């Protein structure tokens, strides 16, 4: 389900179009619509990519502030990237931020993926007392605005002395991740029960069934979970801003560092550096996203609730 | 589910047939029957759940009264029952847990729980000591720590009570097993159970602890704060806060000359709902249309087009939104281009831009900012929806479309009567989830308007709100900048209630557990 393979669509559509053959006027109309369709597509792509293009070209500008009169920079240079990687100053600590963000994201990703898979297996493949109550409760908890509990989480972490620490960040991002089991559970629901029963008859323990039968069959959803849980800390801004508030630039993640560059007093000398930083931080995500495309659709349409 | 859907379509298509009246009547009747059966089932379930709570406690009582001396002893020394059945390690572990609990309550919780009713009475005082030349601080109460630790303690107590009841039942069961000569597990066998029949306990323990720490306790703390006067004038450690009952809720729904929370709340609530409706539907419809456009049979290089749109969402939101904010700034590049092209003049002439300014206030005028936020959100959200719709569109069974073709349906009819219903059918529940997500959509609003949009409405400003705020961004500003925790908590509860209502509408359709076996 959910494979984006273009052939299948085309095949379908060819079958459909058999009845479409008409006279000259119809052919002309068809051509016209084809052209219009491409014009529309190109227009939309331009609209969607203009900000991204602006980001890229500004990152190569030799002018440090915002260029408000020209879209393309008047003179080009790679100084911004050099500044990011080789000349850290009190404002720019890009390499440190990148390492921090990567560290937090990787650990969060490992823990939350494990949590989500564990909970979804228990909810999907096992039957025990209180299962439905737990599921309803997780749904209700999910409705509480995250922003609100953020403040309380901050206080809880502060009383544990875990603010301004990366371990604290990892805990904050991954501890509650078990709640996001619905999609993975939906996917595991589609794995035939007979497979598990067969394994049980052969004498496999639940643990073996989990690790040797269900997990290998859930590969798409595992990939989806890994990428999603990596992206949450990677792109998060609010929680990091709240938790890492010491003002020490070497503790920050990329998001806070870049946000700080747009401060009113700094924006005129760091805007193009901000753009360069934005480009660099987007590269890993873009790659992940292109890989994830397929799994994303599969996860949503296959894993989400059917009907 | 797919089959049922097919059936519906088929009956629709066979509408011209003569005997369709009978079919329709039959389907109608069947539906009524199904509905009443469902109602009956739900009633039954409710009854059962009430009974099961009663049974939970009566079982424990029965275990205690009917148990032998070891079971009765277990109600004080919890491990006793295990020792009697030669489960030494189990007994020791349980005793250890009991000792830990008693130790925790006696030496840690009691001082906090004792002050829970007042949230502290001894105010922070610092006296300069001329002898040591240092400030000596008295043994003051910290209201917030009292609140937080009391809630944690109450949680520990509840968990312990559940554990205690389970323990009594378990010990009684051991006694019965022993009496009937059943095999009693060794410790090794008990451990083995944890990867077999009781594997769910192994799986769920850590995630549940995490959720309790990061979700449940914070929620309880903030619900409690909503009933206190915790704000900038009452900030621990320097001053105390205390319980005030429903006063904060009253001030949220009322207006006076000094406090305008009622006014601000009404305005922001309306905008939040308007925003959520627009944000959900514009991206939903936009995504479907884009997916249909790209998946059209005569469009070449589908994958390339799709990837181009995905690049736009691959850049993290905090980068794109901050960038776009500068893009549309009052003295930003879009304004320069617009004034060069004469668009600013044109808009001034038709009255959309006031003549006192020579730029377009994209993100600084309430009306314009709301419009731009929705437009920018379309930019952010449509590629996601396009991806999802593409997946759904490709899964429409081709025989359906083909048979519609043979019956002479036009492209438009197929789009409107087959594709749209199919997408709605699959995505209906997700649409309401999206709606709730948009009510809580913090990023878009905050990153676009923070430090840019300044409100000129005095009444809003005096309650720290702005026209473009959602309830959640208002809440965040109240806490993060103005330390008004009491009002933020009240708003949070209101948001929760709104979201809960919308989610409960779909609840019966989404995780109603009864149906989950149907898909295997």
Distance CA B479, CA B411 (A): 54
Task: List, in sequence order, every residue forming a beta bridge with B127; answer none if it has no partner.
Answer: B136
Report whether pLDDT(A279) > 70: yes
Separation in Å, CA of A212 to nearest CA in chain B: 14
pLDDT at A299: 61
Task: Tell me whether residues B326 and A14 touch, CB distance under 8 A.
Answer: no
The pTM of the full predicted model, rounded to 2 decimals, is: 0.79
Please compute the mean of the pLDDT values over residues A34-47 and round it to a whole number: 91
Question: Which of B221, B333, B480 is closest, CB to CB, to A152?
Answer: B221
Please compute the mean of the pLDDT values over residues A232-242 and round it to a whole number: 85
B316 near A255, Cβ under 8 Å?
Answer: yes
| C-beta atoms surrounding B169 within 10 Å | 18
DSSP category for residue A211: I
Please compute the mean of the pLDDT values over residues A252-272 and round it to a whole number: 85
Q: How confident is the model at residue B98 (pLDDT cuts 50, 70, 90)?
A: very high
Distance CA B512, CA A135 (A): 10
pLDDT at B315: 86
Please compute the mean of the pLDDT values over residues B324-336 and round it to a whole number: 86
Which CATH number does A93-267+282-303 carry?
A: 1.10.3720.10
Distance CA B221, CA B234 (A): 16
Distance CA A179, CA A116 (A): 7
Angle at A305 between CA A302 and CA A307, to 5 degrees: 110
Q: What is the pLDDT of residues B468-491, one digit of tens each?
A: 899 888 988 888 888 888 888 888
Report whether pLDDT(A17) > 70: no
Chains A–B, number of C-beta pairs less than 8 Å apart: 324
Task: Tell me whether residues B221 and A176 touch, CB distance under 8 A.
Answer: no
Rounded to 10 deg, the angle between the A6-17 and B398-406 helix axes is 10
Q: Give me B365's structure tokens.
A: 């005028």
Give DSSP secondary structure letters for B496-511. Answer: HHHHHHHHHHHHHHHS
Q: What is the pLDDT of residues A138-184, one digit of tens each?
A: 877 877 767 767 878 887 888 788 888 889 999 999 988 888 888 88
- The residue of chain A nearest to residue B436, with distances taken between CA atoms, is A143
Q: How confident is the model at residue B515 (pLDDT cuts 50, 70, 90)?
A: very low
Q: What is the pLDDT of residues A107-141, one digit of tens each?
A: 999 999 999 999 999 988 888 888 888 888 887 78
* Least confident span in A76-85, B329-338, B339-348, B497-506: B497-506
**Total number of residues shown for chain B:** 520
- The residue of chain B nearest to residue A182, with distances taken between CA atoms, is B511
A262 near B451, Cβ under 8 Å?
Answer: no
Domain definitions of chain B by residue range = 2-66, 72-245, 261-328+363-512
- The residue of chain B nearest to residue A174, with distances taken between CA atoms, is B210
Task: Tell me whether residues A144 and B219 touch, CB distance under 8 A.
Answer: yes
Question: Which of A2, A37, A149 is closest, CB to CB, to B395?
Answer: A2
* Least confident span in A199-208, B10-19, B228-237, B377-386: B10-19
B405 near B13, Cβ under 8 Å?
Answer: no
Please compute the mean of the pLDDT values over residues B278-301 and round it to a whole number: 88
Distance CA B459, CA B466 (A): 10
Q: How confident is the model at residue B24 (pLDDT cuts 50, 70, 90)?
A: low
Q: Give me A39's structure tokens.
A: 């014009």
pLDDT at B114: 86
Q: How confident is the model at residue A301 (pLDDT cuts 50, 70, 90)?
A: low
Give DSSP secondary structure letters for B250-276. Answer: HHHS---SS--HHHHHHHHHHHHHHHH
In chain A, residues with a C-beta closer than 8 Å to the C-beta of B491 are: 148
pLDDT at B199: 86
Report whether pLDDT(B324) > 80: yes
Q: pLDDT: is A297 or B291 the higher one?
A: B291
Closest CA relative to residue A58, chosen from A267, A271, A263: A271
Please compute the mean of the pLDDT values over residues B91-112 and round it to a whole number: 90
Backbone angles phi, psi at B137, to 5 degrees: -105, 135
Question: Which of A9, A128, A207 is closest, CB to CB, to B195?
Answer: A207
Backbone angles phi, psi at B127, to 5 degrees: -115, 135
Domain definitions of chain A by residue range = 14-84, 93-267+282-303
In angstroms, how far is CA B164 from the centroid of its own chain? Answer: 32
Please compute the mean of the pLDDT values over residues B135-148 and round it to a whole number: 83
Task: List, in sequence order, every residue forming a beta bridge with B129; answer none if it has no partner.
Answer: B134
Q: Spell out the residues 6+ positions from residue B80 whose beta carbon is closer than 8 angstroms to its own.
A: B70, B73, B74, B91, B171
Report whether pLDDT(B1) > 60: no
Report whether pLDDT(B210) > 50: yes
Sign of CA dihedral A218, A172, B437, B279: negative
A92 near A271, Cβ under 8 Å?
Answer: no
Q: Which ipTM did the prediction report?
A: 0.80
Percent of chain B with pLDDT over 70: 91
Distance CA B481, CA B484 (A): 8
Q: Is residue B293 within 8 angstroms of chain A, CB to CB?
A: yes
Closest CA relative to residue B269, chosen from B505, B503, B497: B497
Distance CA A138, CA A180 (A): 9
Give DSSP secondary structure letters for B377-389. Answer: HHHHHHHHHHHHH
| HSE-up of residue B423 (Cα within 13 Å, Cβ side) | 24
CATH topology of domain B261-328+363-512: MetI-like fold (1.10.3720)
Q: Is residue B307 within 8 angstroms of chain A, CB to CB?
A: yes
Q: pLDDT: is A11 or B264 the higher one?
A: B264
């Amino acid at each position: 389900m959910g494979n984006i393979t273009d052939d299948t669509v085309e095949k379908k559509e060819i079958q459909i179009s058999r009845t479409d053959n008409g006279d000259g006027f119809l052919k002309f109309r068809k051509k016209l619509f084809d052209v219009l369709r491409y014009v529309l597509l190109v227009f939309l792509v331009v609209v969607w990519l203009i900000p991204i293009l602006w980001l890229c070209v500004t990152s190569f500008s030799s002018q440090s502030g915002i260029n408000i009169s020209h879209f393309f920079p008047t003179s080009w240079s790679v100084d911004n990237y050099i500044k990011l990687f080789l000349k850290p100053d009190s404002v720019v600590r890009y390499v440190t931020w990148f390492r921090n963000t990567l560290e937090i994201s990787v650990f969060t990703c490992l823990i939350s993926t494990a949590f989500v898979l564990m909970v979804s297996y228990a909810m999907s493949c096992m039957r025990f007392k209180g299962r439905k109550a737990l599921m309803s409760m997780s749904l209700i908890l999910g409705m509480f605005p995250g922003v609100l509990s953020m403040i309380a989480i901050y206080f809880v972490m502060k009383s544990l002395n875990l603010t301004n620490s990366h371990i604290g960040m990892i805990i904050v991002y991954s501890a509650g991740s078990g709640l996001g089991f619905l999609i993975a559970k939906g996917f595991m629901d589609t794995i035939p029960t007979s497979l598990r029963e067969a394994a049980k008859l052969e004498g496999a323990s639940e643990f073996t069934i989990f690790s040797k039968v269900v997990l290998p069959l859930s590969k798409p959803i595992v990939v989806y979970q890994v990428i999603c849980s990596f992206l949450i800390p990677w792109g998060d801004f609010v929680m990091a801003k709240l938790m890492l508030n010491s003002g020490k630039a070497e503790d920050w993640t990329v998001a806070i560092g870049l946000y700080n560059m747009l401060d009113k007093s700094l924006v005129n000398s760091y805007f193009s550096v901000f753009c360069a930083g934005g480009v660099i931080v987007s590269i890993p995500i873009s790659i992940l996203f292109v890989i994830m495309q397929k799994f994303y659709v599969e996860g949503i349409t296959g894993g989400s609730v059917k009907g | 589910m797919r089959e049922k859907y097919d059936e519906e379509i088929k009956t629709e298509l066979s509408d011209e047939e003569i005997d369709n009246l009978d079919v329709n009547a039959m389907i109608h009747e069947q539906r009524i029957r199904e509905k009443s059966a469902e109602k009956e089932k739900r009633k039954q379930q409710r009854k059962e759940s009430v009974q099961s709570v009663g049974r939970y406690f009566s079982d424990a009582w029965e275990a205690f009264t009917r148990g032998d001396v070891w079971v009765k002893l277990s109600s004080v020394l919890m491990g006793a029952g295990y020792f009697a059945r030669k489960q030494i390690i189990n007994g020791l572990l349980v005793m250890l847990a009991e000792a830990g609990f008693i130790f925790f309550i006696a030496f840690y919780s009691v001082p906090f729980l004792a002050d829970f009713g007042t949230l502290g009475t001894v105010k922070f005082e610092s006296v300069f000591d001329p002898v040591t030349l240092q400030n000596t601080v008295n043994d003051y109460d910290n209201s917030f720590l009292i609140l937080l630790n009391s809630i944690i303690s109450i949680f520990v107590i509840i968990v312990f009570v559940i554990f205690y009841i389970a323990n009594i039942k378990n010990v009684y069961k051991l006694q019965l097993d022993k009496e009937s000569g059943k095999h009693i597990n060794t410790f090794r066998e008990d451990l083995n159970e944890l990867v077999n029949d009781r594997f769910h306990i192994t799986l769920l323990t850590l995630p549940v602890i995490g959720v309790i720490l990061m979700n449940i306790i914070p929620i309880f703390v903030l619900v409690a704060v909503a009933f206190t006067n915790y704000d900038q004038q009452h900030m621990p450690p320097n001053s105390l806060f205390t319980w005030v009952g429903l006063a904060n809720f009253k001030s949220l729904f009322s207006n006076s000359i000094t406090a305008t929370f009622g006014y601000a709340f009404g305005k922001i609530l309306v905008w939040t709902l308007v925003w959520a409706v627009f944000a959900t539907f514009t991206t939903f419809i936009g995504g479907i249309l884009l997916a249909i456009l790209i998946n059209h049979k005569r469009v070449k290089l589908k994958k390339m087009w799709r990837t181009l749109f995905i690049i736009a969402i691959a850049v993290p939101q905090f980068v794109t939104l901050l960038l776009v904010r500068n893009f549309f700034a009052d003295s930003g590049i879009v304004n320069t281009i617009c004034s060069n092209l004469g668009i600013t003049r044109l808009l001034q002439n038709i009255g959309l831009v006031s003549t006192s300014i020579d730029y377009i206030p994209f993100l600084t005028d309430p009306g314009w900012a709301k419009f731009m936020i929705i437009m920018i959100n379309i930019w952010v959200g449509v590629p996601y929806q396009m991806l999802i719709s593409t997946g759904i569109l490709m899964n429409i069974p081709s025989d359906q479309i083909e048979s519609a073709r043979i019956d002479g349906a036009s492209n438009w009819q197929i789009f409107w009567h087959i594709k749209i219903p199919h997408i709605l059918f699959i995505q209906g529940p997700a649409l309401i989830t999206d709606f709730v997500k948009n009510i809580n959509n913090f990023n878009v609003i905050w990153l676009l308007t923070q430090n840019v949009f300044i409100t000129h409405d005095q009444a809003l400003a005096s309650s720290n709100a702005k026209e473009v705020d959602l309830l959640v961004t208002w809440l965040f500003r109240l806490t993060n900048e103005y330390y008004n925790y009491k009002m933020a908590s009240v708003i949070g509860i209101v948001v929760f209630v709104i979201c809960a209502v919308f989610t409960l509408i779909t609840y019966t359709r989404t995780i109603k557990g009864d149906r989950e076996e149907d898909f295997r």
